[in-house]
Structure formats: structure tokens, C-alpha cells
Amino acid sequence: MKSIPIISKNPHTVEAFKKACANSAGAFVPVVLDAREEIISYFNYELPEVKIIDFGDDRIDAAALMESVHADPWLLFGGIIAVVNTQADKTALEKQRDPNIVLALTRKDFEANAGRLFRILSKNMQFLFNRGMQQQMNVNETGTFTSDNDPTDILFYGNLITSYLYNTNRVNEEGRSAVQGALMELLLNALEHGNCQIGYDEKTAWLAKGKNMLDLIAIKSSLPEVQKRKVYISYDITNARTRISVRDDGEGFDWRSRLAGDLEAGLHGMGIKLAESFVSRIAYNEKGNEASFEIPIMKNATNSIPVIMKEQKILQFTDKQLVCRENEPTNDLYYIRSGKFAVYVQRKLVTVLTPNDIFIGEMSFLLNDRRSATIVSVGPGSLVKIPKMEFIALIRTHPHYGVFLSRLLAQRLAKQSTQTVQIQNEFTRVKEELESIRTPD
């Protein structure tokens, strides 16, 4: 259960927001804020991953709120959904290239799709936090989105990636259009031809009758075998380039013959060539169910986010390599950049940490104690080592960092408590079963 704040006084927008939360089966709790001091306090101490700000409501001083976010960009980087009145307002806001805004929507689009948007964001909360942290630590940003077979979902994911690249000055206007064009063509191909298995002739006959392709996709997506399939969007952002891959669960296609043909106008059949026209090169796997492309990072661009933790030491690990040992007197933090890391206490496996857990070592950091566990890599992975004294300096000037770290520890302890209860319940169940079948003496 997550609390999501909306800063708006528009009754229709607030009502759509509340309805979306009510339909989330308890996943989201709506918080409606409109007083500035209350909003700033909520941002600083609740640290919401998602914040909805109504830029189109003149009664909301959105500019002042953004100043507070910019004052503490690492901790409050999160994901801001900006609501505006018109498409022109959306374009104007996007041109400001604010890296904190993950998506801008017109009021009409937000009110119609709030529930769907929340569902997508709930699956990718880690992106909202890691994207800011990794950029400021000057390390690669990698991740994968998994989309259902829904054109609207795919549109949101495409906008999520391209908006981020644009807002963080990785691409300019031209580059953004190129990424958007190539990505959407590949995503639609993955959906239509990959997962839904809509062939060329079938699509031709459907369109020739003047029918909408969305209706055919909806019919195909309702089939049991198609419902199990997903579209996977992977990104890998370095200081030199961005690589984006799109993969589906379909049977693939003969991409060589399609690329060898000419780009000709028609009802359809131009997607692959159009995608190729947006970026310099698109590569396909042998099967034909995955396509990827690269674009260079824009050089000499101004990064609007203060770099708080750049040039930290990046540690690379192979399988079964020791990170730290139980009872060691070290208490620096480790940011989990990639991979999995097993946690052992008294030589017993208690959990496995992934990038979703963000940090390793927060307990010894907060308690100023020795290492409470032994950490071992599971397969390849990488960590960013953050010296304790440097992080303490941040806490002194930004006390909210201490709140954030404490929350991480509390969440991890709560998770472990839940696991302990589950184990105890399972033990009790097995014990009762054994006693029920035990024969009398």
C-alpha cells in the first residue's frame, strides 16, 4: 500500500484520481494536498515515489513546489506526473526539460487513464528512484519494463523512456523524435505481429474494410495464449550512448527479407523500414523477436541536477564473490547497481538483495556497528561504495536523508518479520500434519 499525493484543487481531476486509487484494490491511498507548507512537509518526510502536480490549476503555485524539489534533487527526484490543460501547455512544459517530471499529460488524458497509469508506475517504482540516483552517481542506468498487450500501456512506456532521455539532456528535440519514432514502431510490431500473431494478409483485409486496428488487437489479446505473452523494453544508458531493446514472446519473423525491401506507401507494412529511418541502425536477434538500437548521448549539455555522489568507487563482482563479512568493523554503504547478493547470518541464508533493495549495509551504518551479515554475490553484479563520512555530511545538511535511510531499514525489517511469520506458520502446519498421522504407541 502506497500513498500518492495529488496537488490540485480541480474537483474533476481530484475525483478521477480518487477513483483510480479506489480501483487499485488497496494498492494506493489517495492524499489530496493544496496548502504549500503542508505539501513541502509531506514531500520531505513521506518521500513519495510518485507526485501528481496540477500545473494547469492557477490556484496551485507549481513553480514554487518545483523549487523545493530542485533544492533537494537526489532525495526528491522521484516521479512527478504533471497535469496540464492543453496539448500546447504540455509541449511548453516538456520544453523546460525538467528531469523530475517523468510524464506530462493533458487533464483529459490524465482523468481518462489515471488507473492505468498508476498500475504501470506501481510495477516500476524502482525506476523512479534509481534513475535519479544513478545519474548523479555517474554510473550506467539499466533496467527493463514489462508491458501487457495493450496499446495504451505501450504508449505510456514509450513516453516514459523518451521523456526521461529528453528531460535529463541525453537527447535534443531531434533525438527525442527519433527515439520516439523508432521505439513506437518496434513496440507496435512486437504487439501486433509478435504477441498477437497478426499476419500481413490478415491486417490488410481488416484495414481494407475500414476497421480500427485497436479492435483487432483487443480481439487477439483476449485469447488465452496471447494473454500470457508480454512485451519487454530494456534500456542501457552510459555516458556515451543509450541502447534500447524491444522483445516479444512471439515466434519471430524473417527480418532480413523485410529490411531488404523498399519503403513503399500502403495500408501498412512500413513499420520496420520506418523504424530504421529514425535511427542509424537497428539490430535483430536471429529469431526475429527482439530488436535494438543505439543513439549517442548529446554532448556538452547542461545537467540541471547537482551531482551529489559522482565519482564514487564502482565495485564489480563475479559469482560467489565476497562483498563483506559478518562482524567486520566496516560500516560504509553500498548502492546496489546491478545483480543479486545473498545475505548470510551465522552461515544461514536469510535473504537475497537486488537493486530493488537499493542499499546494502544500512543497519551497520545507522547503528555504527560491525557488519551484521556476510554478503556474497549471486552471479555477476556491481555495487557503488559510498563512504560513511560522506553520507553523514549529506545527512547534516539534508536531514531527510536520515529519514529515508531509516525507512529503508524499517521496510527491510518488516519484510523479514513477515517472512518469519510465514516460516513459523508453515512449521506449525507441518507439525500438525505429522501429529495427525502419528500412530499410537
* 166: in domain: yes
Each residue's pLDDT, cut to its tens digit, for the chain (441 residues) gives: 678 899 999 999 999 999 998 888 777 889 999 888 888 888 877 777 788 999 999 998 888 888 877 776 555 555 788 999 999 999 898 888 776 787 888 999 999 988 888 888 777 766 665 554 555 445 567 788 889 898 888 888 888 888 778 767 778 777 878 888 888 889 988 999 899 998 878 888 888 888 888 889 989 989 999 999 999 999 888 878 889 999 999 988 776 776 665 545 444 445 565 566 667 678 889 888 999 998 887 654 333 333 344 456 778 999 999 999 998 887 788 888 788 999 999 988 988 888 767 788 877 777 767 888 999 999 998 888 888 777 777 677 666 667 667 766 776 676 666 766 777 777 787 777 777 775 555
CATH of the domain at 93: 3.40.50.2300
Q: Specify the amino acid at residue 163.
A: S
- Interatomic CA distance for residues 193 and 203, integer angstroms: 10
* 25: in domain: yes
Q: What pLDDT, on the 0 to 100 scale, is given for residue 266?
A: 46
* 433: in domain: no
* 170: in domain: yes
* Matching residue, cell 556515451: 240
Q: State whether 180 and 281 are in the same domain.
A: yes
Q: State whether 180 and 117 are in the same domain.
A: no
* 372: in domain: yes
Q: State whether 65 and 174 are in the same domain.
A: no
* 439: in domain: no
Q: Specify the amino acid at residue 48.
A: P
Q: What pLDDT, on the 0 to 100 scale, is given for residue 18?
A: 93
Residue 294 buriedness (CB in 10 A; 0-12 / 13-18 / 19+) = middle
Q: State whether 13 and 87 are in the same domain.
A: yes
Q: State whether 393 and 280 are in the same domain.
A: no
CATH of the domain at 251: 3.30.565.10
Q: State whether 114 and 62 are in the same domain.
A: yes
| Rounded alpha-carbon distances, angstroms, from residue 402 to 47, 69, 392 | 12, 17, 9
User: Within the chain, what is the greatest distance between any pair of CA atoms?
Assistant: 86
Rg of the chain over Cα atoms, rounded to whole angstroms, equals 24
Q: How many domains does the chain fold into?
A: 3
* 437: in domain: no
Q: Which of 271, 298, 325 is the last residue of a domain?
A: 298
Q: What pLDDT, on the 0 to 100 scale, is given for residue 289?
A: 92
CA dihedral 6, 11, 12, 13 (to 10 degrees): -10
Enclosing domain of residue 84: 1-129
Q: State whether 251 and 379 are in the same domain.
A: no
Q: State whether 320 and 409 are in the same domain.
A: yes
Phi, psi values for residue 345, rounded to 5°: -120, 120
* 155: in domain: yes
